[in-house]
Amino acid sequence: MSNQAIARRYARALFEIAREKKLLDEFVANLEQIGKAIAEEDELRRVLYHQLIPIREKQKIVEAIFPDFNDLLKNFLNMTIAKGREKAIPEIVTEFRQLVDKENNILPVDVFSAVPLTDEVKAALKERLQAVTKQNIRLNNLVNPEILGGIIIRLGDRVLDASLKKKLELLALRLKKA
């Protein structure tokens, strides 16, 4: 079974428990901490993914790093490690976030800009996107100097490119044809 299928199954099970216990927000915040730690800390990733390190040692490390987590979440992480599914944890985090977003009618939107957007611009953009999509928006501003100016908005599988780079590329194409 692929990590994606495993992650979907594990995330769904955790989601159902968290929803029943009204712990969705707490769990999503905690899971994102774990995902961020695994992504950023090479040593943690090496230890968690190493086949020769005993399961109990891995569980102790996770408990030591995240002592304040809810017991249900700790048990879930211990079970995930005991089953040898620790490599699926980043995908579980992603799947869980998607389930929570769907439950709360939240659409994650990535906005790429050449410089960080001001809070006023983010608020205005969020408001306009909410009006258009009829969903709550979780806006993520990503800085990419290569776009030169303007913005690129990614809403799920749709991309709206209003960047200066794209406009220059289109202008170059028109000039070549002329």
pLDDT by residue for the chain (178 residues), tens digit each?
677 889 999 999 999 999 999 999 999 999 999 999 999 999 999 999 999 999 999 999 999 999 999 999 999 999 999 999 999 999 999 999 999 999 999 999 999 999 999 999 999 999 999 998 899 999 999 999 988 888 899 988 888 888 888 888 888 888 888 7
CATH class of 106-177: alpha beta
- Where in the sequence of the chain do the CATH 1.10.520.20 domains occur? 3-102
Give the whole-angstrom CA distance, residue 142 versus residue 139: 10
**Could you tell me if residue 168 is left (phi over 0), alpha (psi between -120 and 50 degrees) or otherwise beta?**
alpha
Task: Give just the sign of the alpha carbon dihedral 26, 27, 32, 35.
Answer: positive
d(CA 70, CA 29) in angstroms, rounded, equals 11
Name the region of 150 (left: φ>0; alpha: ψ -120 to 50; beta: rest).
left
The matching CATH number, chosen from 1.10.620.20, 1.20.140.10, 1.10.1200.10, 1.10.520.20, for 3-102 is: 1.10.520.20
Tokens of 153: 């908005």
For residue 91, the surrounding DSSP H or E stretch is: helix 89-103
pLDDT at 17: 94
Alpha-carbon span 63 to 59, nearest angstrom: 6
Beta bridge partner(s), residue 26: none
* From-to residues of CATH 3.40.30 in the chain: 106-177
Give the SS3 label for residue 172: helix
